[in-house]
Amino acid sequence: MLALVLHPEWFEPMFAPFAPQGAAIIYDRASLLSLSLSHLGIVAAASVAAIIVAVLLAILVTRPSGKAFLPLSRTIANMGQTFPPVAVLALAVPMLGFGSGPTLVALFLYGILPIFENTMTGLSTLPPATMEAARGIGLSRRQRLFQVELPLALPLILTGIRLSVVIAIGTATIGSTVAARTLGEVIIAGLLTNNTAYVLQGGLIVGLFAVLIYDALTQLEAFFPKRLGLAH
């Protein structure tokens, strides 16, 4: 992975059969490293925003005082999945202009639903005996939330975050259609010039990022429950 991003020229023989005669084999209009860092930065910013909003919404609707907001919260969470990211980009460009802004909005909206649903499920299916014990020892609502509920729901929350982030990594490539600096730039350049070598380079790097981050977050899902003493 690092070799492909830092020294793509090493892989020229592998991509050469897919490039048109006389065309460049390795994408050189921009550094693959800088495009990768920009791509991951956009995904990270959108994912952090989605995590904060989705978790707060889930906490709100699982409190007795917030249950009335469940239909509205579900509508908000489903909105991003209802509208295709391309449509969100088209609507956001007139307001935010070209660049990373519309892409951040699209990824943010698209990433809320998995985190919201998993967090809500985790907080709604807590063991009654555990919750009763927490009340019995005199924990306040805030203490129960942070010391009992969120730690018990953490595995499901992390699963939702993993799904959201991996989806965002792949979806972020469309940001290059509105001038965001992502690895989609390499793929689009390949499509416009009929250079399959470019398409493969961009697609391969995005795919490797998705696999590596998926595996890393899976390891976190296994690590935190053990750390918190929740593993069976």
Note the pLDDT of residue 26: 93
The answer to whether residue 22 is domain-embedded is no
Domain of 201, CATH number, reads: 1.10.3720.10
Is the pLDDT confidence value at 226 over 80?
no
CA atoms within 13 A of residue 166's CA, in its CB half-sphere: 18
The answer to whether residue 140 is domain-embedded is yes
The answer to whether residue 26 is domain-embedded is no
The answer to whether residue 13 is domain-embedded is no
pLDDT digits 0-9 by tens, 47-104: 999 999 999 999 999 988 888 888 888 888 887 778 788 888 988 999 988 989 999 9
Domain limits at 117? Answer: 32-227
Amino acid identity for residue 129 in this structure: A
The answer to whether residue 14 is domain-embedded is no
The mean of the pLDDT values for the chain is 90
First-last CA distance in the chain: 35
Note the pLDDT of residue 120: 93
Mean pLDDT of 112-125: 93
The Cβ of residue 131 has, within 10 Å, a number of other Cβ atoms equal to 15
State how many domains the chain has: 1
Q: And the tokens for 206?
A: 């995005």
* Distance from the Cα of residue 122 to its chain's centroid: 19
Note the pLDDT of residue 229: 58
Question: What's the rounded Cα separation, in Å, for the pair 68 and 62?
Answer: 10
Longest dimension (CA), the chain: 76
pLDDT digits 0-9 by tens, 193-220: 999 999 999 999 999 999 999 999 888 8
Comparing CA positions, the residue from 22, 27, 23 lying closest to residue 11 is 27
The answer to whether residue 6 is domain-embedded is no
The answer to whether residue 18 is domain-embedded is no
- DSSP per residue over 120-136, as a string? HHHHHS--HHHHHHHHH
The answer to whether residue 5 is domain-embedded is no
Note the pLDDT of residue 86: 85
Is the pLDDT confidence value at 231 over 70?
no
Query: Could you tell me the pTM of the whole model?
Result: 0.90
Question: What's the rounded Cα separation, in Å, for the pair 41 and 79?
Answer: 24
Comparing CA positions, the residue from 191, 186, 215, 189 lying closest to residue 203 is 186
Note the pLDDT of residue 72: 85
pLDDT digits 0-9 by tens, 3-43: 889 898 999 999 999 999 989 999 988 899 999 999 999 99
Is the pLDDT confidence value at 230 over 60?
no
